[in-house]
Amino acid sequence: MDKHRIRFLPLDITYLAQDGENLLDFAMDVGVHINASCGGNGTCKRCKVRLVEGRVDFCQDQALSVSGHGEDIVLACQTRIKGDAVFEIPLESQIDRSALKSRKSPNILSAPDSLASLGGISPDPVAYKINITLEPPGIDNNMADSERLIRVLKNSHNMGDVKINLNILKRLPSLLRNSGWDVTLTIAETDMGLEITDVQVGNTPKKQYALAIDIGTTTVCGQIIDLWDCSKTGSRVIGESADYNAQISYGDDVITRIMHTRKKGGLKRLQEAVVKTINLIIDELTDKAGIERSFISHMVCAGNTTMTHLLLGVEPRYIMISPYTPAFVFPPVIKGGDIGIKGLDNTPLYLFPCVSSYVGGDIVAGVISSGMAKEGDISLFIDIGTNGEIVLGNKDWLMCASCSAGPAFEGGGISHGMRAAKGAIEQVRINKKTYEPMILTIGHSKPLGICGSGLIDSIAEMLSAGIITENGRFNRELPTDRVREGKDGYEYVLCYGKETQTGRDICLTEIDIDNIMRAKAAMFAGCKVLLDSAGLYFNELKRVIIAGGFGHFLDPSKAQIIGLLPELPLERFVFIGNSSLMGASLFALSREYASEAERVARMMTNIELTNNNRFMEEFMAAMFLPHTDLRLFSKTLGVR
């Protein structure tokens, strides 16, 4: 793709931009400050820059953007780069060179492409299809249908003991005769051993698909995988879909859901709600891909321990009561019909094993997809969500913990917090001289609230600009109207009401900052306790793998400034997105990963942090920006 030279004045710095790149996004990426307070929506008109020379395209009617002063003034957020160009940033967006030092490293990795497409892995699933032709019975050979079938499997396919369940037996006589004794069997490894889970008329082994589903507390995501052919698309994943978990109506977090199961019919309601969501996702996946459900040979689900209990309709109550004992960690293999999955009554459904009440199958799936349990080098896996889960180790040993970080990184408990959705402020830069913000929202929509990455950016930027102090309190003497006393105490105004969707100012208060500090302190303290238990220092980590929804927008350099992530070179941070879904897909694709799931779950030693004195000490030490032990962040403090 064409690259263009973009020069910014008066900084007089030049960067290479992709053809068609949005100018405001580009400026944000390279660390050039342009005031922007509507998130790139085109309404605040604060992102004006002068086009000195060069070629650009406009996203909207530039009559709106051009100031009418006879100059080539454009709105950066409404401008696409189409050639080499020179832009002058007006005085009100003054030089902020310091931002350059802390801009994102281009070396930050995403999940490897081969894993993303799953194209590099040869399918060897736990359920497979075999076409067989049987000799029709005669008067001198009237062996029972099921025995006839098993004998062929034994003699021609070298299979030992294969079970046939009642559902199949009921359909078997007519299927065999209607097919002219030419059928395709689906044979799956289940708790019964090898089991025939489907019999289809004719030769259908080339039509085999699997479903991988990540059951999150908030969202459920699914993928449909073609197990036979990836030649057309280059990817085995032929469809993806996601929806909010319908359980959300019964509470945002796992504790509220568990509380709901104590009400009459509560457990059944929650089970039906998540199954309803899964059914909708399967409908969408199969409809879009034009696939009949009967060709789905198996399903794999990964979820946290509570979600796994609720899916199976198993009492989760003791997960939240000391000593925090789940009913099981190794779930049985069930059939779709056991829980109400439509049209897949006899299709096996595999669930990822869990480790403890608060380290579930989603984390085991994440560890598998990250590859850390196959390497000699030591990695730290972090899933930042309502419950921050962390795993430390390598191919020989793994330790894990869950630190109740609270919902702050998902916007919970923050006055204008929201999940990472359209209109959420996800990136923030603050000019250190004028204290004016530059913000970007998801979808360039008018700001609606702030999501996790926006919160981390905001606090790091406020700290770097001296708007807040190391203990999270506002500097009340600054010459800016953006720091003011609101109804909840002092606050910083990120967007004024005329720029937002709600018409209300979007602010960050000291209470919000305190909530984020608690969340980051819990995460960091959890990591520190695990490393101390293993006798390791942070600089001995080869990789820090960050999983979860907001990983892609999280700027690790900002997360280091507030003390959420350890001080390590940026190239050691790897973002792998929804690693739970990726792990489920790997399990669905290959029995090697299916057995790896069990090996990893058995190998993970859970360190309980609740009522752990060491954790409390580390938590208190981390309740500072970035930390009370400044030696842990000496380089970060130098850059800031």
CA-based end-to-end distance of the chain: 35
Q: Of 76 and 278, which has the nearer Cβ to ligand FES?
A: 76
Q: Which stretch binds ligand FES (CB under 6 A): 35-43, 157-165, 276-284, 372-380?
A: 35-43
How far apart CA 582 and CA 370 sit, in angstroms, is: 9
Cα 607 to Cα 27: distance, rounded to the nearest angstrom: 43
Assess 44 for contact with ligand FES (CB under 6 A). Answer: yes
Interaction between residue 46 and ligand FES (CB under 6 A): yes
Angstrom distance (rounded) from CA 249 to CA 257: 9
Query: Shortest distance, CB of residue 73 to ligand FES, whole angstroms?
Result: 12
CB of 40 to ligand FES, least distance (A): 5
Stretch that binds ligand FES, among 40-48, 248-256, 578-586, 594-602 (CB under 6 A): 40-48
Closest CA to 270 of 257, 282, 280: 257
The identity of residue 87, as a single letter, is F
Cα distances (angstroms) measured from residue 343 to each of 250, 348, 426, 448, 520: 27, 12, 40, 40, 44
Q: Is 547 in the site for ligand FES (CB under 6 A)?
A: no
40 forms part of the interface with ligand FES (CB under 6 A):
yes
Residue 429: its H or E element: strand 424-430
Q: Which residues of 430-453 are buried (b: 16+ CB within 10 A; e: fewer)?
A: bbbebbbbbbbbbebbbbbbbbbb
Phi and psi torsions of 101, nearest 5° = -65, -30
What does the CA dihedral 17, 457, 94, 477 come to, rounded to 10 degrees? 180
Nearer to ligand FES, 44 or 213 (CB): 44
Instruction: Write down the residue that tokens 């399903």 correspond to.
Output: 299
Q: Where are the beta strands (DSSP E) in 548-595?
A: 573-577
Q: Does 49 bind ligand FES (CB under 6 A)?
A: no
Return the SS3 of 599. Answer: helix
The least distance separating ligand FES from the CB of residue 33, rounded to whole angstroms, comes to 12
Q: Can residue 38 be called a binding residue for ligand FES (CB under 6 A)?
A: yes
Asked whether position 28 contacts ligand FES by CB under 6 A, the answer is: no
Q: According to CB under 6 A, which one of 4, 33, 45, 520 is a site residue for ligand FES?
A: 45
Q: Pick the closer one to ligand FES by CB: 42 or 563.
A: 42
Cα dihedral 589→590→594→596 (10° resolution): -130
CB of 425: closest distance to ligand FES in angstroms? 11
Cβ proximity to ligand FES: between 38 and 392 the closer is 38
> Any contact of residue 56 with ligand FES (CB under 6 A)?
no
Among 27, 36, 517, 523, binds ligand FES (CB under 6 A): 36
496 vs 573, beta carbon nearer ligand FES: 496
* Strand 237-244 relative to strand 219-226, pairing: antiparallel
CA distances from residue 426 to 37, 458, 497 in whole angstroms, order as listed: 12, 9, 18
Q: Which of residues 71-90 bind ligand FES (CB under 6 A)?
A: 75, 77
Residue ranges of the alpha helices (H) in 379-488?
Answer: 452-464
By CB under 6 A, the count of residues binding ligand FES is: 12
Least distance in angstroms from the C-beta of 186 to ligand FES: 55
Q: State the nearest-atom distance from the C-beta of 77 to ligand FES, in Å.
A: 3
Residue 47 interacts with ligand FES (CB under 6 A): yes or no: yes
Task: Give the nearest distance from C-beta 167 to ligand FES in angstroms.
Answer: 59
Closer of 195 and 436 to ligand FES (Cβ): 436
- Are 387 and 357 contacting, i.e. CB atoms less than 8 angstroms apart? no
In whole angstroms, how far apart are CA 262 and each of 143, 257, 276?
53, 9, 21
CB 424, min distance to ligand FES, A = 15
Q: Closest approach of Cβ 451 to ligand FES, in Å?
A: 17
Which residues fall within 8 angstroms of residue 122, CB to CB, at 6 or more apart? 590
User: In angstroms, what is the minimal distance from the CB of 37 to ligand FES?
Assistant: 6
Q: Least Å distance between CB 499 and ligand FES?
A: 7
Cβ-based nearer residue to ligand FES, 40 or 316: 40
- Among the candidate windows 36-44, 189-197, 270-278, 409-417, which touches ligand FES by CB under 6 A? 36-44
Of 128 and 553, the one with the shorter C-beta distance to ligand FES is 553
Residues lying near ligand FES in the complex (CB under 6 A) are found at 36, 38, 40-47, 75, 77
